[in-house]
Amino acid sequence: MDDVARRNGNITYQHAGAPRASGARAMAVRACVALVCAACAAGCTISNWNDPYWHSPNGDERTAAFLKTETQLAAAREHASVVCDTQDACDRFWARTRAYVVEHSPTRIRRADDSVIETARPYEFGIAYFRAERATHDDGSTRISLKGLCRGMYNGAGGPGWTYSLCAPQIEAAEAAFQQTIEQPG
């Protein structure tokens, strides 16, 4: 009977090598576990709360709004690139791209070299950050493109995430103005 101990007339069972928690401590642990479970359950139920793009069985207008915004984002991404033919022009565009990324991203640049400019992911959700790439093609031309990213913008199924309504306008505005800003003379 090594695993059974008598204390004040109560029988307490112990697992080998693991001391049994006292009554007050066990209650505190159970309360913490219950609190964490409740918080997780609450987070799951309100994850789509107050999001105009969330899909619902009766959400035809929400789906239409999401598809319209996705179309606008696709058009902005089409304009978020420039092509240059000479090394001088490409270097000038790349320097402007770096300044553009710094201006439009709230986080610092974490990587910058001859092919990539990338800002750090923000700690907060719903804030856009950017990545620019420079790629030379077989014909000698170089394409510089900008891509906006945002934590929580899409859900696991590719639909709108809980920060979509915050992220989409930031990314669309930055990508839509990229080409005109980079190519302006001077």
Q: What is the pLDDT of residue 63?
A: 83
Residues 97 and 150 in one domain: yes
Same domain assignment for residues 67 and 41: no
Residues 119 and 170 in one domain: yes
H/E stretch holding 119: strand 116-119
Tell me, yes or no, whether 9 and 71 share the same domain: no
Let me know: does 172 contact 165? Beta carbons within 8 Å: no
In a domain, 51, yes or no: no
Answer whether residue 53 is part of any domain.
no
In a domain, 71, yes or no: yes
Q: Is 102 strand, coil or helix?
A: helix
Give the pairing type, strands 109-112 and 81-84.
unpaired
Rg (C-alpha) for the chain, rounded Å, is 27
Q: 145 and 81 in one domain?
A: yes
Distance CA 122, CA 144 (A): 23
For residue 3, the model assigns a pLDDT of 47
Residue 97 lies in a domain: yes
Residues 37 and 101 in one domain: no
108 in a structural domain: yes
Q: Shortest CA distance to 106 belongs to which of 176, 166, 154, 180? A: 166
Residues 37 and 70 in one domain: no
170: Cβ contacts below 8 Å, ≥ 6 apart: 127, 128, 148, 150
Query: What is the three-class DSSP state of 82?
Result: strand
Q: What is the DSSP letter of 160?
A: B
What is the domain range of residue 41?
Answer: 4-45
> Does residue 116 fall inside a structural domain?
yes
Give domain status of residue 37, yes or no: yes
Do both 163 and 112 map to the same domain?
A: yes
- Flag whether 127 is in a domain: yes
Q: C-alpha angle 111/144/186, rounded to 5°? A: 105
Question: Do residue 137 and residue 80 come from a single domain?
Answer: yes
Confidence (pTM): 0.65
Model pLDDT, residue 185: 80
Based on the domain organization, do 75 and 34 belong to the same domain? no
Same domain, 177 and 93: yes
76-128 per-position pLDDT tens digit: 998 899 999 999 999 999 999 999 999 999 999 999 999 999 999 999 999 99
Q: Give the number of other Cβ atoms within 10 Å of residue 116's Cβ.
A: 12
Tens-place pLDDT, residues 121-180: 999 999 999 999 999 999 999 999 999 999 999 988 888 999 999 999 999 999 999 999
How many Å from the N-terminal Cα to the C-terminal Cα in the chain?
Answer: 89
14 in Cβ contact with 5 (< 8 Å): yes
Query: What local confidence, expressed as pLDDT, does residue 57 receive?
Result: 54
With vertex at residue 171, the alpha carbon angle to CA 165 and CA 172, rounded to the nearest 5 degrees, is 90
| Assigned token pair, 125 | 């959700």
Q: Indicate whether 101 and 31 sit together in one domain.
A: no
How many domains are contained in the chain?
A: 2
